[in-house]
Copies of this chain bind each other. A is one copy, B any other.
Amino acid sequence: MKLIFLPSVLLVISNVHAFLYNELVQYIDSHKEEYVEVLRDWVEVESDSSDVLRRSDLHRMMEITAQKLRSLGGNVELVDIGEQELLDGQTLALPKVVTAQFGNDPDKTTVCIYGHVDVQPAKMEDGWDTDPYNLTDLGGNLYGRGASDNKAPVLAWIHAVEAYQALSMELPVNVKFVIEGMEETGSNGLDAMILAQQDTFFSDVDYIIISDCSWLSRRPALTYGTRGNTYFFAEVEGPNKDLHSGVYGGTVIEPMTDLIGILDTLISPSGKILIPGIREAVAPLSDEEWKMYQDIEFDIDDYKSKIGVSQLMYNNKVDLLAHRWRYPTVSIHGIEGAFSASGSKTVIPAKVTAKFSIRQVPNMDPAMVKKQVTDYLHSVFAKRKSPNKLKVTMIIGAKPWLADPSHPLYEAGKVAVKRVFGVEPDLIREGGTIPIARTFQDVTGKSIIMLPIGGFDDGLHSQNEKISRYNYVEGTKLFATYLNEVAQIKRSKV
C-alpha cells in the first residue's frame, strides 16, 4: 500500500468529524498555567545527553515523558535502542525511545510527531542570568535550558491531543509520537530503531511532523529544509604529561602550537572554507531560490542588534539567508585539554583536542567530508614536520534535509497558521540540524513537515534559552488546529 497526495486544489473534507475551533482555543487558554507548570517539571530534569554523568537524569526524563503520554491513554512503549560506545571504549545505555499511539482508525490519516527531551549543556557560570534548570517566568518569557529546544514544543503537541480528549472531540487523525533523548549529540541509536520498525510502527504513518526548530522573525514560519552537521575532534598529542612552560618552553614542539596552526587553515577571515572539495559539492543557488529569499521577512538590523554585532559576514538579506541555510560553514567550538580556567597557568598542555563542525547542505556527503577534512588536516600537519601525533575523528555525521514546500502538508500548515495567527507564514529553512529528518525521509519515504513554534530569539544552545508564554500557548493552538487541517488532505490509496 502506498499513499499519494492529490494537488492542494482538491482539498475537501474527507473525514466527517466535528472541529470546534473556539472550544479548543478556550480550553487551551484556560489551561495555560498548567502547561507552564508541566514545563517547569520537565526543565528541572538536567537531561543533558552530552554529559555521561547526567545519564540517569536522561533516563528519568524518558520515563516522565512516557508517563505523561500514558496518562492520556496512549499506547506507549519505551524502546531499547542499545548502548553507546564512549571514546575510552566503555559502553553506556542509551536513553530509550518513547513511542506512543492515539487512535488506529484505518480510514484516518496517521501523523507521527517527532521530538526530543534531551538538552544542550548549561551552567550558571556560562553566563546565565537565572538557574538554567529552574524555569523562570519573567516578562512573558519562560527561561530554562530546553524550554524551547525541545521540551515546550513536545508538551504543546501532547497538550493539543489532551485538549481534544478533554472536550470529547474525536481526534481528526491518528497520532503517533516518537520522542528521543539523544538529539543534541547526533540521535545515536535512533536511525537503527526507525529502520527496525519501518514495517511495524511506521508502516501506517502518512506524514511526519517535526517541531524542533524556530521562526525566523516575529512572523510564524513553516520550515522545509535543515542543514546537516559533521562534528570533528582533532587531537594533537605530544609529551606524556603537561609540562612547565618555563622549564621546557623552547625545547619541546608544543601540541597547542601545532593545533592552532592546523585550525587556522580551515576557514578564511571572510568565511571561505579552505578544505579542498567542500565548496565544490554545494548545489548552486537557483534563481527561484533567490526570489524566495528576497520575499522573506528578515530584518538585518534586528538580527545584528539581537546578537550584538556591528557587522555580519554578509550585508544583504539573500546572501545572509543563503549562508545561514544552504551553504556550509566551519565553526570552531573550543579546545579540550588546554588551560581553560580563569587566571594564569604556565603550562604546555600535553594533549589538546579541538572541537569543530562543518554544517552540511545538499549535495554534500558526510562520508566524503570526513575524508576531505581528515586528508587535508593530515597534509597540513605533515608540512609542520612535528613529532606530535594528530588524530582526526568525525563523531557526528548528519545529512541535510530538504522538502518540497508546495506539498499539501505545507498548504495545511499555511491554513492553520492563518487561522491561529491571522497571517501567512514564511517558508524558511533552518541553519541547524535535525538529523532525524533525513533518516525519516530516507528510511520511511514519508513526507515531512517542520512546524516550528519557537521564537526567533529563544537562544537555543545559548545562555538564557527561553520560550515565550505566547509562543507556547498559541503554539498549542496551532498544533491542535493543524491536526484538523492535515485530516483534510485527500488521501488516495493505490
- Chain A positions within 8 Å of B, measured between CB atoms, are 50-52, 120-121, 126-127, 185-186, 214, 227, 229, 231, 238-254, 256-258, 260-261, 263-264, 267, 269-271, 303, 307-314, 320, 323-324, 327-336, 338-349, 355, 357, 359, 383-388, 395-396, 430-433, 459-464
Is the pair B246, A433 in contact by a Cβ cutoff of 8 Å? yes
A309 to B254, CA, bound (A): 11
Kindly provide the distance from the CB of A182 to the nearest chain B CB, expressed in whole angstroms.
Answer: 12
User: Does B340 lie within 8 Å of A250, measured CB to CB?
Assistant: no
Is A345 in contact with B331, judged by CB distance below 8 angstroms? no
Inter-chain CA distance A462–B396, complex, in Å, is 33
Is A344's CB under 8 angstroms from B462's CB?
no
* CB pair B346 A333 closer than 8 Å: yes
Binding site secondary structure of chain A: loop
Residue among B307, B335, B341 making CB contact with A338, cutoff 8 Å:
B335
Could you tell me the distance in whole angstroms from the C-beta of A492 to the nearest C-beta in chain B? 36
Once A267-B257, A269-B386, A308-B239 are accepted as A-B contacts, the answer to whether A431 and B231 lie under 8 Å apart by CB is: no
Residue in B closest to A270 when the chains form the complex, CB atoms: B385
Complex Cα distance A258/B269, Å? 7
A247 to chain B, nearest CB (A): 5
Residues of B within 8 A of A121 (CB): 341, 343, 345
Give the complex CA separation of A269 and B264 in angstroms: 13
**Does A252 lie within 8 Å of B309, measured CB to CB?**
yes
Pick the contact of A310 from B336, B343, B387, B460 — CB < 8 Å? B387
CB <8 Å contact, A245 and B357? yes
Interface contact A387-B242, CB-CB below 8 Å: no
Whether the pair A331, B348 counts as a contact (CB closer than 8 A) is: yes
Whose C-beta in chain B lies nearest to the C-beta of A258? B269
Query: Are A246 and B346 CB-contacts (below 8 A) given A241-B463, A313-B253, A323-B251?
Result: no
With contact pairs A251-B312, A269-B384, A307-B248 given, residues A462 and B241 touching in the complex (Cβ less than 8 Å) = yes
- Contacts A243-B307, A320-B251, A460-B247; is A340 near B343 (CB within 8 Å)? no
Once the chains are docked, how many angstroms separate the CA of A271 from the CA of B270? Answer: 28
A432 contacts B247, C-beta separation under 8 Å: yes
Residue of B nearest to A256 (CB): B332
- B242 contacts A463, C-beta separation under 8 Å: yes
**21 pairs from A and B in contact (CB 8 Å cutoff):** A52-B343, A121-B343, A185-B344, A227-B246, A231-B344, A231-B346, A239-B308, A245-B359, A245-B461, A247-B431, A253-B269, A253-B271, A257-B332, A260-B260, A260-B263, A309-B388, A333-B338, A334-B340, A336-B339, A336-B340, A346-B432
Closest to A358 in B: B249
In the complex, chain B residues whose CB is within 8 Å of the CB of A384: 269
Write the chain B residue with the least CB distance to A214. B247
Cβ contact within 8 Å between B355 and A344: yes
Residue with the highest number of chain B CB atoms closer than 10 Å, among A245, A303, A359: A245
New A-B pairs, 10, CB < 8 Å, besides A214-B247, A239-B308, A335-B340: A51-B343, A52-B343, A229-B346, A241-B308, A250-B328, A260-B260, A269-B386, A310-B387, A333-B345, A345-B461
**Known contacts being A214-B247, A261-B264, is A462 close to B432, with CB within 8 Å?**
no
Nearest CB in chain B to that of A361: its residue: B250
In the complex, are the beta carbons of A264 and B260 less than 8 A apart? Answer: yes
Other-chain contact of A333, B258, B313, B339 (Cβ < 8 Å):
B339
